[in-house]
Amino acid sequence: MTALDALSADAPPRLLQRANIAPLALVNLGVGLHAVIWYLASTAMPTAIKDVGGAEYLSWVGSLYLVTTIIGGAVTAMLKGHFGARNAMLGAGFVVMVGGLVSAAAPGVAIILAGRAIQGLGEGVLIALSYVITRELFDNRLVPRVFGTLAATWGGAVFLGPLIGGALTELFSWRAAFLGAALLPLPMQALAYMILRERHQRIFVGKPPLLRVFLLGAGVVGIAIADRLDSSVLGGVAIMAGIAAVALALKIDRHAPSHLITTVFPSLRHRVSLGLWILILMPMGEAGVFVYAPYILQLDRGLTPIWAGYFGAIHALTWSISALCVASLAPRWHWLTIVSGPATLAVGMGLLGASLAGSPLALVGFALALVGIGFGIAHSFINQRIMAAAPVGQEDATATAIPTLECLGGAIGAALAGLVGNAAGFDGPLTTEIVHSGSIGVFGGGAVIATLSVIVAFLFLRSPGPAGDRKN
């Protein structure tokens, strides 16, 4: 072998070569589908609520969706082991399509909720499966670059979701928007059928953590239904039952042969657990944005579905942009982003609570941008430190705990936002006074939760890390 041949053998492969184009499109479609449908549904829902009623259940659209997304992610390994990646992806895409059709045909809000829950189940499988097959379809040296394209795809989906949802809602109806969501999996399914051709044998061993995931979901639902009960006593019982269900799920998981969540959680002493608490509290504090921002912007501020959707997506877009801007920061600056991220989120939520009712829309947009920047500058560095400090033998449980607990935090936050919003009058005709007082409660409450994540961030940075990380 010549020196030139040896150099060529050691050179990393190119991502954008012919053999990689179709697999790259497949994994990006799997992740991008989730983001597009999320913002499409958020854009169409205010018009749907105006048509069929049920504003008091608006927060459930996010809560139930996130709960079933967790369930879908939890059973992905079982589905892939039993049926193979191709059949699992085709089936999950079909579930997403069914969910979209159910929502499109819904005579009332209850059936819309059922459709969104079905979509969440399928999308949870698609997201997890897209990450799993990335390591099977690409040279290991290309995996970080593939993950980089997934981040770019998310940013593009933030643009497409409100555009598609808003255009279909304005030109036709909100039902057309959900019908469009039902058709979106088709290109991904066609690619999966062509690319994932392996002959599969059943290789899955063990049982999926269905009981633990069910208890997590039941806990969120318990909190969500509290404001629908006839008395404050029953509401309090529902909230306490929800908290107890989540605690029981964590206890069962600690003693299970395989863990859904690392066993160091929910301790306030271990670095991994503290990092996971940040990743729970930040989505919990931000949840009011995806529950109520497009709704208020359309029904109170008079924006069209498209523009309300884009305003609601500002925080996601600034998340992507700010994450790219800080990606190359030297490690000595990471501590600053880890603290300033939650702090920026708290400021953005507080400003949103004060401005959404009647302030200039530019100020509302600025507040939403701060919310996204808060996540963008801190999220990857928190994840990096969590994974670096993962207990030996629990690396997978630590990795899966990150998206599971983030979704759980978002689902609980949506339920709490619904409690506060409905108590303030968001479930009836909106007036400036109702929007003002309700925004202070919903978004100001989110600012308080985000402030708690700032405190935890300081504890996270002061906690002992793995060897070689003491100075950080």
Mean pLDDT across the chain, nearest whole number?
81
The HSE-up count of residue 248 (CA atoms within 13 Å, CB side) is: 16
Number of domains observed in the structure of the chain: 3
Report the distance separating Cα 317 and Cα 439, nearest Å: 22
Q: What is the pLDDT of residue 465?
A: 61
Which pTM value belongs to this model?
Answer: 0.77
- For residues 319 and 430, state if they share a domain: yes
Judge whether 188 lies within some domain: yes
- For residues 127 and 51, state if they share a domain: yes
Judge whether 6 lies within some domain: no
For 162-181, how does the pLDDT look when each residue is reduced to its tens digit (9 = 90+)? 888 888 888 899 999 999 98
- For residues 158 and 295, state if they share a domain: no
Judge whether 9 lies within some domain: no
- For residues 107 and 142, state if they share a domain: yes
Is 343:374 a contact under the CB 8 Å cutoff? yes
List, in order, residues 6 or more apart from 316 with CB less than 8 Å away: 35, 39, 154, 155, 158, 372
For 60-75, how does the pLDDT look when each residue is reduced to its tens digit (9 = 90+)? 877 788 888 878 877 7
- For residues 318 and 279, state if they share a domain: yes
- For residues 452 and 391, state if they share a domain: yes
Judge whether 3 lies within some domain: no
Judge whether 42 lies within some domain: yes
Give residue 422's pLDDT band: very low, low, confident or very high (50, 70, 90). confident
Q: What is the pLDDT of residue 13?
A: 67
Report the distance separating Cα 370 and Cα 36, nearest Å: 22
285's tokens: 């504090």
Largest CA distance in the chain: 82
- For residues 342 and 239, state if they share a domain: no
For 449-465, how does the pLDDT look when each residue is reduced to its tens digit (9 = 90+)? 999 999 999 999 888 76
Share of the chain above pLDDT 90, in %: 20
Amino acid at 269: R
| 383, burial (CB in 10 Å: exposed 0-12, middle 13-18, buried 19+) | middle
Pick the last residue of a domain from 257, 277, 293: 257
- For residues 157 and 246, state if they share a domain: no
Give residue 468's pLDDT band: very low, low, confident or very high (50, 70, 90). very low
For 242-280, how does the pLDDT look when each residue is reduced to its tens digit (9 = 90+)? 889 888 988 888 888 777 778 888 888 888 889 999 989
More confident residue, 189 or 219: 189
DSSP letter assigned to residue 303:
-
Average pLDDT of 144-170?
A: 76
- For residues 178 and 105, state if they share a domain: yes
Judge whether 5 lies within some domain: no
Q: What is the pLDDT of residue 277?
A: 94
Which of these ranges, 24-33, 77-86, 115-124, 192-201, has the smallest mean pLDDT? Answer: 192-201
Report the distance separating Cα 14 and Cα 355, nearest Å: 48
> Domain range spanning residue 244?
210-257
Judge whether 2 lies within some domain: no
Of residues 364, 369, 349, the one with CA closest to residue 420: 349
- For residues 416 and 328, state if they share a domain: yes
Report the distance separating Cα 408 and Cα 398, nearest Å: 15
The CATH number of the domain where 459 resides is what?
1.20.1250.20
For 433-445, how does the pLDDT look when each residue is reduced to its tens digit (9 = 90+)? 888 888 899 999 9
Judge whether 423 lies within some domain: yes
DSSP letter for each residue of 199-258: -------S---HHHHHHHHHHHHHHHGGGGSSSHHHHHHHHHHHHHHHHHHHHHHHTSSS
Give residue 469's pLDDT band: very low, low, confident or very high (50, 70, 90). very low
